[in-house]
Amino acid sequence: MDLNPTELTSLAQIACTVAIEAGRLVVDERPEGLGVARTKSTDTDVVTVMDQRSEDLLRRRLGEMRPDDGLLGEEGAARDSGSGVTWVVDPIDGTVNYLYELPGYAVSVAACVGDVSTPGRWQPVAAAVFNPLSEELFHAHAGGGAFLRSGGREHRLSVSTRTRLARSLVSTGFGYDPQVRAAQGQLLAGLLPLIRDVRRAGSAAIDLCHVAAGRLDIYYESGLNPWDLAGGQLVVTEAGGVVTGRDGAPAGKDLVVAGPAGLVHDLHALITR
Ligand code: IPD
């Protein structure tokens, strides 16, 4: 599906509008003594009432503005697309940070084309990731570059220029399944002596945007869902980076490595060795 620059700009503006609205909601209307409303894949994979309310807002607002588009949301929102565009949304990426009142969560909204239910068959074309505590808005559309809007200013993003993994600050995350985590821990233990240091911030969307801004050199993780990945992925590629999966496959549940091309090549080789 081909979208022209005017359509892409309009999708990015909509992504920004609804990501900001949902982000303000989760901060302004957070109830006293917020608890866990339910759990998903494991006992530590939590959903709060505000994840649900944020997703409800995103569903309602996108439905008003783009009634023919599809929707795929982390908390279960699903609508088939009649237009060829599907919005992939994470109402709070970094839910555990949000639960603990740690400042590292964001709303991620991405307009995607292709089949979002099939790994590797979709791609983001316009996106916004909004961190409501720092009030940083990362946004991008295909072919238009990636930008950070913050404190009334807007500047273009580019990934790190670093070329050596040994001098690179690497970010990663862990899944909720204990067995998967054990394997992720082993992999990380092998990488630690080969890199500058590691960060685990707790939001894949923010990690990806920080790679786009050069605040992190590179990021990798396995187990990500489309809603964790879609918005940040576009911000990285539009900032001049590469986002790949294993052995040239599209990034997805199996593996995501994101950063400048040279570092991605070297880290991918280490991870898959
Ligand atoms: C999680 C965060 C985390 C990553 C996990 C994700 P959620 O998303 O992005 O950083 O390591 O893999 O599931 O559950 O907070 O939306």
Helix axes 261-271, 178-191, angle to 10 degrees: 120
> What's the pLDDT band for 170 if we cut at 50, 70, 90?
very high
Global pTM reads 0.97
Is 90 exceeded by the pLDDT of residue 81?
A: yes
Q: What is the pLDDT of residues 10-48, one digit of tens each?
A: 999 999 999 999 999 999 999 898 888 888 888 888 888
223 Cβ below 6 A of ligand 1: yes
Q: Counting atoms of ligand 1 from 1, which one is nearest the CA of 74? A: 16
Residue 251's pLDDT is what? Answer: 97
Q: Is 65 helix (H, G, I), strand (E, B) or coil?
A: helix
Q: Are 231 and 205 in contact (CB under 8 A)?
A: yes
Neighbours of 228 (CB within 10 A): 25
Atom 16 of ligand 1, nearest CA residue: 93
Residue 176 C-alpha to ligand 1 middle, in angstroms?
Answer: 8
> What's the pLDDT band for 1 if we cut at 50, 70, 90?
confident
Q: Counting atoms of ligand 1 from 1, which one is nearest the CA of 93? A: 16
Q: What is the pLDDT of residues 113-146, one digit of tens each?
A: 999 999 899 999 999 999 999 999 999 999 999 9
What 34-42 contacts at long range (C-beta under 8 Å, 24+ apart), as own/partner pairs, is 34/99, 36/99, 40/176, 41/176, 41/177, 42/176, 42/177, 42/178
Largest Cα span, the chain: 51
Gap between the Cα atoms of 227 and 195, Å rounded:
28
Q: Counting atoms of ligand 1 from 1, which one is nearest the CA of 45? A: 14
